[in-house]
Amino acid sequence: MDDYIPAIKMPVFIKPSDIQLREVKPFDAFPLGFSEGSLSALLFGDELSKALFMRGIISSVPSETGIYNIGPAGLIPPKGPLGGTENLYLGRVYSLDELVSALGLVEEASIVVVSGFSALLNRNVEGLVETRRIADERGLTLILTHETMEMNELNLPAEFTEHFLLPGLFDSLIVLRTNSYRGHYRLNITILKAPLDAVSALGDHSIPADSLVKPLLKLIRE
């Protein structure tokens, strides 16, 4: 990792112009990217939106970059074309302490997606801040996710507080859900918080998703 300037365990000042961070998107039409040293929270309103995001993010990662899917449940096993993804690793953790330890073992500048974050034991603000510190120090693209079928659309900030403890610590807060009508699919995205250079992405987005969903459903059925 040549361009990323890691944080250290003491106050430090840097010039933003000196940093060139790489970012990844699950697919081209996604409203914003996820960059090195960032911490993002994603809420999935259904299993299909989760599968679309996970397959997309795994498929879009450059071959030289490690990608890790870890958590207590909901990991994405290699199948079909993803079976040849050499740098995809799956791991189980069951508490926030175990997650912190695991983050110290992954390769620097990797992409780490945590499935089922709110199911981890011993979640607390101190542990969450520690995960943020590790993401900064190691240049990780860290994405914490949770899937829920009972989302309160009228109070999304409270949903993020319930599942992710401290929303203000995150660079991005994103909700994803899918719907279908007469065999056509759309991916609906709500962005509550985004990095300052991506504030134009705030708000609601609806993306036609037939080209994403249909190959995925075919792959799952095979």
* Structural domain containing residue 133: 32-221
Q: Which amino acid is at 18?
A: D
* Structural domain includes residue 21: no
* Structural domain includes residue 12: no
Angle (CA) 121-139-55 rounded to 5° is 65
Comparing C-alpha atoms, which of 26, 30, 25, 40 is closest to residue 189?
30
* Structural domain includes residue 11: no
* Structural domain includes residue 88: yes
* Structural domain includes residue 3: no
* Structural domain includes residue 123: yes
| CATH number of the domain to which 133 belongs | 3.40.50.300
pLDDT per position as a tens digit, 45-94 = 998 899 899 888 988 888 888 999 999 977 776 555 554 467 889 999 99
Measure CA 96 to chain center: 17
Angle (CA) 74-70-209 rounded to 5° is 55
* Structural domain includes residue 176: yes
CA–CA gap between residue 185 and residue 208 (Å, rounded): 6
* Structural domain includes residue 14: no
- State how many domains the chain has: 1
Quick check: pTM over 0.85?
yes
pLDDT per position as a tens digit, 105-136 = 999 999 999 999 999 999 999 999 999 999 99
Residue pair 37/139 in contact (Cβ under 8 Å)? The answer is: yes
Residue pair 45/151 in contact (Cβ under 8 Å)? The answer is: yes
